[in-house]
Structure 1
Amino acid sequence: MSDSIAALMVQGTTSDAGKSVLVAGIGRMLARRGIRVAPFKPQNMALNSAVTLDGGEIGRAQAVQAQACGVTPSVDMNPILIKPSSDVGAQIIIQGQAKMNLDAIGYHEFKKMALPYVLESFTALSKQFDCIIIEGAGSPAEINLRENDIANMGFAEAADVPVVIVADIDRGGVFAHLYGTLALLSPSEQARVKGFIINRFRGDVALLEPGLRWLEEKTNKPVLGVLPFLHGLNIEAEDAIIDAHSAVKNSKIRVVVPVVTRISNHTDFDPLRLHPDIDFRYVGKGESLANADLIILPGTKSTRADLAYLREQGWDKEIAKHLRYGGKVIGICGGLQMLGQTIIDESGVEGEAGTSQGLGWLNLSTSMQAKKTLRQRQGCLTLNGQTVSVHGYEIHVGQSQVTDAAPIELDDGSVDGALSADNQIFGSYLHGLFDSEPALALIIQWVNDEQIAPQNMMQMREHALDRIADAIEAHVDLSSLGIATAPSYRKDRVIADGASL
């Protein structure tokens, strides 16, 4: 492949420095040039995950990056996925399948055995694609995590790939972050770093020039570019919840989601959070669910523990009051399980073994099983006598026995979820349910008989990915790495654009 490299790894000075979005943007940029490119993240710790066509589980960010590259997501794009189930324990997913639960010490030992899986997946992708854009995890300068590292420099050294380091200037301290990160690396790792990228800058880059010159002189590494703070950019978060709430004037519906301790796949709610007709907010510890038309119980990695947490917050009583006054409630995945009669975990699949009484508003009982259900789904949702198409994916260990009516009929003839006899509550195992424009419109009608404006989430994501690629084309010089840049690149360009990389 001419004018390009076989692989490039993007590492960051911190979590949320912009690694995920930068990988997506570079992937989109190369794909637009006709290069066969794929994303790769050796190790990911996240509760937002996606299901591949062959029934495997990977980080949600890698699925978005695959979309950016115009390719089908595969388990090889994220061979090690860690899903925390408590502050000290996590489920370990290897090449798409849940294999074990480990505490932090146990995982530290497991890393010695994990590298072969990572390299096997990387090799498999390298045989299929011209170029692999790799995302690191956290920071390569975490001293306590460097032994047997497979997420950052440990992988880069083993696979012999070049590295760029990205830092977020919007948080402050960007020069200390970059200089300090490089200084904490070994000599061979420092040599592997080909340059820096500064992310989320607001204003005229000329104001940064003294700092850029100092950094280049002190490190002997080039600043490859300064990316602007891109206002209004909407792309699915890898894990962190985007919790900023601004009341929507003249909203047609108020929706709240209680944030439980192990909330998973909160990207389910992006279509609601981003809709101009919906006043959406997350409710955290010590806050109230009051003043909502619709309460949605989200998915969780620890259903019984988070059900107990929900009760500790008094949210069960608030939901009961909400229902007495005619409000509507939806449960997604773990939220569906909470709405039922009992949750049985005899083998301790999700934590301590035992049985919990559910909230009791749906006629279903759930038993946790060791084998996880992973599959993509499509079918039809019926509410208030109207039927629309839906699509999504299932990720759950619970199997539910349901006697309530099922609101969703799937294409294979099976059914999903439960709908209460009084038509106030329904639940589903489908993540991504709200992505469907007709389904979202029908659900809002079911809540309060309102009509909302159409919103195409796929088009919104595509537009966001193109904006990121455009910014990289304009503001980052990757030619020194063998990736040709667009003619519009100019390092002294005035940056003015206005959500962020």
Structure 2
Amino acid sequence: MAKKIMIQGTMSNAGKSLICAGLCRIFRQDGYKVAPFKSQNMALNSFITEDGLEMGRAQVVQAEAAGIPPKVQMNPILLKPTNDVGSQVIVNGEVLGNMSAREYFAYKKQLIPDILKAFHQLEEEYDIIVIEGAGSPAEINLKQDDIVNMGLARMVHAPVLLVGDIDRGGVFAQLLGTLMLLEKEEKELVRGLIINKFRGDKTILDPGIDMLEQKGGIPVVGVTPYMQIEIEDEDSLTERFEGRRKRNVQDMSAGSIDIAVIRTPRISNFTDFMLLENLSGVSLRYVKQCSELGHPDMIILPGTKNTMEDLRWMRQNGLEAAIQKAASGGTAVWGICGGYQMLGEKLSDPDGVESGGCMRGMGLLPVETIFGREKTRTRVVGTFRHPDGIFQGLKDMEFEGYEIHMGETGLKGLLPMNEIYDTVQKNKEPEVIGKDLGYIRNQDGASRGNVCGTYVHGIFDREEIVTEIVRALAGEKGIDVHECGTIDLKKFKESQYNLLADTLRNHLDMERIYQILEEEEDGYED
């Protein structure tokens, strides 16, 4: 059976996902077959596997680092928040239903057999399983029926490394406080401590480390630096929305292609923009109020877990009107998934899947969306057919991606319309969508003028497509396209995973971590 090691944190965003990804790459480099695992993930960034199942992107990233295709067994439970007190519950890649936090808390122990089945399937195939916890193991109100932190560690007999975030301050209190709140049997599972996101001279920290080890009784196995590494983030706790991507409008260089992504309250799958974010000559920033919008070269409406509520939010704060005005002046607008639905003329929710009732859309594309209880989960390949406006250069380009959405979108009547592409669903019977003009159910994408919409996530992951979009935007702005560099996303990701692994090797005691993996599983009995 596989050896395993678990990374838990003193809080959300302590750096668990990144360290898990780094360990996956290190073990792979050292010749092991390694897989990630997280029993329960709460995130709006998700992914569709080759067999049409939905899972959290954090484990997709970790699988990439491990050099293996993502499988739903790596994340058997995914919670996608629909509001402040409820989530859509996805089990083994399929929607179980919507539950309030209280309902799910009472129900979740029934999912233990699903968790253990998924874990044991991975155990049979891989040498090492790198397990990620969630939040903190010291949430005393949640410990009774825990299935993702110490509860899981006990179920699968996994030694734990506990990570604290020094960048936020109070890391010694984080680590010692967490250990103090653990039961004796739980504390025995913790085999090492990691201080993460350190900046500065480590020798200044050494006296604190000595005291931490004395008071906690557990060795520190690494002090890892604050890493400037471009790897996809798990969820809305990301720092991606800040820093260089959220520069003041007045600071934009006249030589930059300025792309504004609308940061809606329920934004999802913002990983769609990783390639655009890392192109030289392109500045991508996240915008959540009119004063931040300015006059970008392209506006992107991203995916969202609640299209109607986020459109209502944009309507109330004036962003909808600002985008409509920009579009009427020729600014390129691109909607993805929920953003595509918003661009249409009407949204209907007869079954109360989102907010219920009907509301008008932004009216920038002649499509209508009807929400239903069935969720589309599919991988697609396709070819752009007749993109309109400045995106005409995309014609005949191929793409690959995936769809995750509630509802169907169709052309409204027989209005003049350019279909954007043909698609073939990879994990269903081959079906060509959008062959004829007119009203078509399941219209995967559409364009009119400089406004474009698509259900396909990952459509911006191909270098040729992004290069053509940037070329078109540069041409409108009178910029030489050669000033904007290109990037091979796959090679770029590989370089970042290797950089992450190299950094962790330099700052973690890997010899000790391997010893922990090899130790007899004493003291793990329930």
Same fold (TM over 0.5): yes
**Amino acid across the alignment from 1:234:** E
Q: How does 1:56-455 map to 2 (within 5 A)?
A: 56-231=53-228, 233-240=229-236, 241=238, 242-244=240-242, 245-246=246-247, 247=251, 249-285=253-289, 287-350=291-354, 352-381=355-384, 382=387, 383-385=391-393, 386-402=395-411, 404-411=417-424, 412=430, 413-415=432-434, 417-421=444-448, 423-449=449-475, 451=481, 452-455=484-487
Q: Measure, in 1, the Cα distance between the counterparts of 2:314 and 2:290.
A: 11
For the 8 Å contact 2:445–2:455, the answer to whether it is kept is no
CA displacement at 1:251 relative to structure 2:
3.6
Distance 2:359 2:148 in 1: 37
**Contact 1:290–1:318 (CA under 8 A) maintained in structure 2:** no
1:456 and 2:456 matched: no
Q: Percent identity?
A: 42
Q: Distance in 1 between matches of 2:285 and 2:62?
A: 27
Deviation at 1:250, TM superposition (A): 4.6
Q: CA deviation at 1:55?
A: 0.6
Greater relative contact order structure (CA < 8 Å, 6+ sep)? 1
Alignment of 1:447-486 (within 5 A): 447-449=473-475, 451=481, 452-482=484-514
Kindly provide the amino acid, as one letter, of the partner of residue 503 in structure 2. Answer: A
Distance in 2 (alpha carbons) for counterparts of 1:180 and 1:27: 28
Q: Distance in 2 between matches of 1:402 and 1:99?
A: 30
Cα distance in 1 for residues equivalent to 2:178 and 2:208: 16
**1:137 aligned counterpart, secondary structure:** coil
> What are the Cα deviations for residues 187-219 of structure 1, in whole angstroms up to 9, with x where unaligned?
000000001011121222211110111011111
Q: For residues 275 and 171 of structure 1, what CA distance do their matches in structure 2 show? A: 30
The residue that corresponds to 1:494 in the other structure is: none
Tell me the amino acid that sits aligned with residue 206 of structure 1.
T
TM-superposition CA deviations, 1:78-135 (whole Å, max 9, x none): 0110000111111000011111100111011111212221111111111111110000
Question: How many angstroms apart in 1 are the aligned matches of 2:207 and 2:347?
Answer: 60
Residue identity opposite 2:399 in structure 1: V
Cα distance in 2 between the residues matched to 1:187 and 1:446:
62
DSSP 3-state at the match of 2:95: strand
Whole-angstrom CA distance in 2 between matches of 1:162 and 1:22: 15
**Cα distance in 1, alignment partners of residues 149 and 275 from structure 2:** 33
Letter in 2 for 1:470: D
Q: Aligned to 1:435, what secondary structure does the other structure show?
A: coil
CA contact (8 A) 1:405 1:418 kept: no
Residue 368 of structure 2 aligns to which amino acid in structure 1? S
1:47 matched to 2:44? The reply is yes
Give 1:167 deviation, angstroms: 1.1
Specify every segment of 5 or more residues in structure 2 that has no aligned partner in the other structure, as ranges.
Answer: 425-429, 435-442, 518-526
**Structure 2 counterpart of 1:187, which letter?**
K
Contact 1:336 1:417 in 2 (8 A): no
Corresponding position of 1:498: none
> Cα distance 1:157–1:285, how it changes in 2: closer, same or farther (>3 A)?
farther
* Per-residue deviation, residues 375-417 of structure 1 (Å, max 9, x unmatched): 1122223532543221211111121112532212224532464
Do the aligned partners of residues 484 and 215 (structure 1) sit closer, same or farther apart at CA in structure 2, a change above 3 Å counting? closer
Residue 301 of structure 1 aligns to which amino acid in structure 2? K
Question: Would you say 1:31 and 2:18 are equivalent positions?
Answer: no
* 2:440 alignment counterpart: none
Inter-partner Cα distance in structure 2 for 1:434 and 1:199: 32
For these two proteins, the number of residue pairs brought into alignment is: 479
Whether the 8 Å CA contact 2:347–2:361 is kept in 1: the answer is: yes
Q: Give the conservation status (yes or no) of the 8 Å contact 1:361–1:420.
A: no
Output the aligned Cα RMSD: 1.8
Verify the 8 A CA contact 2:159 2:516 in the aligned structure 1: no
Q: Is the 8 A contact 2:159 2:191 kept in 1?
A: yes
TM superposition shift of 1:297: 0.8
For 2:210, what is the secondary structure of its paired residue? helix
Aligned with 2:158: secondary structure?
coil
**1:52-72: CA deviation from partner (whole Å, max 9, x where unpaired):** 111111111110100001111
Q: How far is the alpha carbon of 1:325 from its aligned partner?
A: 1.9
CA distance in structure 1 between the aligned counterparts of 2:191 and 2:360, rounded to whole angstroms? 56
For residue 286 of structure 1, report the CA deviation from its aligned partner. 5.9
Residue 433 of structure 1, CA deviation:
1.3
Pair 1:168–1:110, CA change in 2 (3 A): same
Q: Distance in 2 between matches of 1:285 and 1:157?
A: 46
Distance in 2 of aligned mates of 1:182 and 1:172: 17
SS at match of 1:182: helix
